[in-house]
Structure 1
Amino acid sequence: MAQIDYFFTPVSPFVYLAGDRLERLAERQGARIRYIPLDATALFPRTGGQVLAERHESRKAYRLQELARWSKRLGMKLDLQPMFFPVNPAPASYAIIAAEAAGGGDLGGLVRAFPRAVWAEGRNIAEDEVVKAILAENGFDPAVADRGMFMAADVYMRNLDEAVARGVFGLPFYIVGEERFWGQDRLDLLEEHLAGR
């Protein structure tokens, strides 16, 4: 069975726009997904990129146009100026890592729920109550966020190191074997690769 290593941050609008397409293509192609949350603000400077606040105005403007285009194309509500952004991704990332370790819920649903909360629901995913509510909404014990915090923090740091070592430079990023795919707009190419086309 092929494995898709999925590198992401729960605050990315492009992660949000990926929706459940990764999970659906993995099911069609008989692949499993390894979810790897990491800190994009630490990834970019280590791989030659810039955090959003430091990018040239032309890049910021283009990003907004792309978000609007993809939102329309995919039929997904997206607030270009969300109430809680930028927001600390660590609490949500820790919750995802702890939930995976604990088991018992819908991990893919949880991964999708955090960016949706930011970009479509106006929720602050850095707040403990919101994190616990989203865990519960996806079938996990909300207490895993507290119990697994130290383990999750360690994994989160190691995820960043792994991403840099494996050539990840933007998010979302998908790796199958030695093949790398950057961006939710490359999911069709990822599926073609898995299908051997």
Structure 2
Amino acid sequence: MAHIDYYLGTISPWCYLAGNRLEEVAGRHGATITYKPVDLMQLFDRTGGTKPADRHPSRMEMRAQELTRWSDYLGVPFNLKPAHWPVNMAPSSYAVIAAQDAGGDVGGLVQGFLRAVWAEQRDISDDAVIREILAASGFDPALADKGLFIGAETYGRNLEQAVEAGAFGAPFYVVRESGQRFWGQDRLDFLERHLASL
């Protein structure tokens, strides 16, 4: 059985546009997923990337066009300039880490945070919002307060593992058995072809 390490950012528009397609692909091939939220801004710094705020205007214009094209193509609601972006990813990431330990629909929770940013104009660094999204995703809202030390430790470790695995953006999918890496929601078809070959 294949296992996928999914490096994600809870404020990434590209992770939002991925929707639940990773979970569908994994389900079709009996693969399991470990969700690894990372601090994307630190990941960019560590791997030679440029933070959005520091990118050349032509790159940001292309980004805006591509995000709009993809959201239209996928038929998902999308605010190109959300009210709460960027925000501190750590609190929502800790909630994802705690939820994964608790068991349940972690993929749905991740999408709940992403949808809150990109479609619902909500601040996912706010404790009340985190609790609401946990509850809506079938988790105990108290997970927002549990395991904060472990969450912080895991969040830092995820960044180190991302760098070691060759990840430099999000979404980034690594198949443990083969070491094959897939960057971007537009590479999910290639990930599926790879899983079918294992």
Tell me the TM-score normalised to structure 1 length: 0.97
CA distance in 2, matches of 1:58, 1:78: 21
Shift of 1:144: 1.2
SS in 2 for 1:76: coil
Structure 2 match to 1:119:
118
Amino acid at match of 2:41: T
Shift of 1:34: 0.8
Could you list the runs of 5+ residues in structure 1 that have no partner in the other structure? none
Shift of 1:101: 1.3
Structure 2 match to 1:141:
140
After the TM superposition, which residues 89-168 of structure 1 pair with which residues of structure 2 at under 5 Å, given as runs?
89-103=89-103, 105-168=104-167
- The answer on 1:187 being equivalent to 2:182 is no
SS in 2 for 1:143: helix
SS in 1 for 2:63: helix
Amino acid at match of 1:110: L
SS in 2 for 1:5: strand
Shift of 1:86: 1.0
Deviations 1:167-190 (A, max 9, x none): 101110001131000000000000
Deviations 1:87-141 (A, max 9, x none): 11111000000111123x3211001111110000111000000001000011111
Amino acid at match of 2:148: M
Paired residues in the alignment total: 196
CA distance in 1, matches of 2:82, 2:169: 21
Structure 2 match to 1:57:
57
Instruction: Note if contact 1:10-1:37 (Cα within 8 Å) is conserved in structure 2.
Output: yes
How many percent identity over aligned positions?
Answer: 58
Amino acid at match of 1:8: L
Superposition RMSD on alpha carbons, in Å?
A: 0.9
CA distance in 2, matches of 1:159, 1:134: 22
CA distance in 2, matches of 1:106, 1:137: 11
Amino acid at match of 1:27: G
Amino acid at match of 1:79: N
Instruction: Note if contact 1:39-1:89 (Cα within 8 Å) is conserved in structure 2.
Output: yes
Instruction: Note if contact 1:87-1:124 (Cα within 8 Å) is conserved in structure 2.
Output: yes
Deviations 1:25-81 (A, max 9, x none): 110111111110000000001101011001111111100000000001000111001
Shift of 1:146: 0.5
Instruction: Note if contact 1:99-1:145 (Cα within 8 Å) is conserved in structure 2.
Output: no
